[in-house]
Amino acid sequence: MLTPRLRVYTTVKERILDGTYREGQLITEGEVAGEAGVSRTPVREAFVQLESENLIELYPRRGALVVPVTAGAAAAVIEARLVVERFALAKVAARPDLIEQWRGSLARQRALLADTDLDAFNTEAQLFHRSLVALAANPIMLRLYDSLRDQQLRIGHAAIHRTSGRADQVLSEHEALVAAVESGDPGLAGDRLTSHLTATQEAL
């Protein structure tokens, strides 16, 4: 059973990542405590943890501001992703299980877009990339990559909601990346991966 602090932390974090709490929105201890049916103490503790993860900024006696996704922060995350993902791509591009996993993910992405479920699409898009890193079987790289998960989800969410048609572009870019890997051209695949991540940064 989750403690009150952990329950509040999990709920608020999920709402930040899925956009329920919008960038720049001010949320208060009283508001969250009332919804969760807890005192303000576990809310305050959860807020402190979320601030340490750079998801909110605390303002005494006012509440917590949801930190906006900035171009600078996105650039730093994408630079780190390129290092990890290009390493993984060079290592596993020839493996048939990568294509199998990616084709399954593409099918799910198409279905989610058809249902206009952009939040679930964003999550599946992140898993598409994580599957590449996981197959590389480098635990240090995977831990580094997973530490970027929350920021990846926020960047993806911001990009597809700020730029009309970005979700469709993401799917097309994923399809082009899979096609390049299937063609056996690692250079082309690497270029398409770089272009795809750069396009997400430019959509912010």
CATH number, domain with residue 174: 1.20.120.530
- Residue 164: CB atoms within 10 A of its CB come to 9
Domain match, 62 and 75 both: no
Q: What digits encode the pLDDT tens for the residues 113-150?
A: 999 999 999 999 999 999 999 999 999 999 999 999 99
C-beta separation of 176 from 193 below 8 A: no
Q: How far apart are the first and last CA of the chain?
A: 39
C-beta separation of 160 from 118 below 8 A: yes
Q: What digits encode the pLDDT tens for the residues 100-115?
A: 999 999 999 999 999 9
What per-residue confidence (pLDDT) applies to 76? 96
Sign of CA dihedral 91, 95, 100, 103: positive
Closest residue by Cα to residue 61 from 90, 88, 30, 36: 30
Domain match, 54 and 97 both: no
User: Domains in the chain: how many in total?
Assistant: 2
Domain match, 161 and 86 both: yes
Last residue within a domain, chosen from 19, 34, 66: 66
**Whole-number Å distance between alpha carbons of 113 and 110:** 5
Closest residue by Cα to residue 64 from 17, 6, 18, 12: 12
Domain match, 58 and 77 both: no
Q: What digits encode the pLDDT tens for the residues 61-112?
A: 889 999 999 999 999 999 999 999 999 999 999 899 999 999 999 999 999 9
Question: Domain range spanning residue 150?
Answer: 71-202
CATH of the domain at 37: 1.10.10.10
Last residue within a domain, chosen from 50, 66, 82: 66
Sign of CA dihedral 27, 33, 39, 41: negative
Q: Is the pTM of this model over 0.85?
A: yes
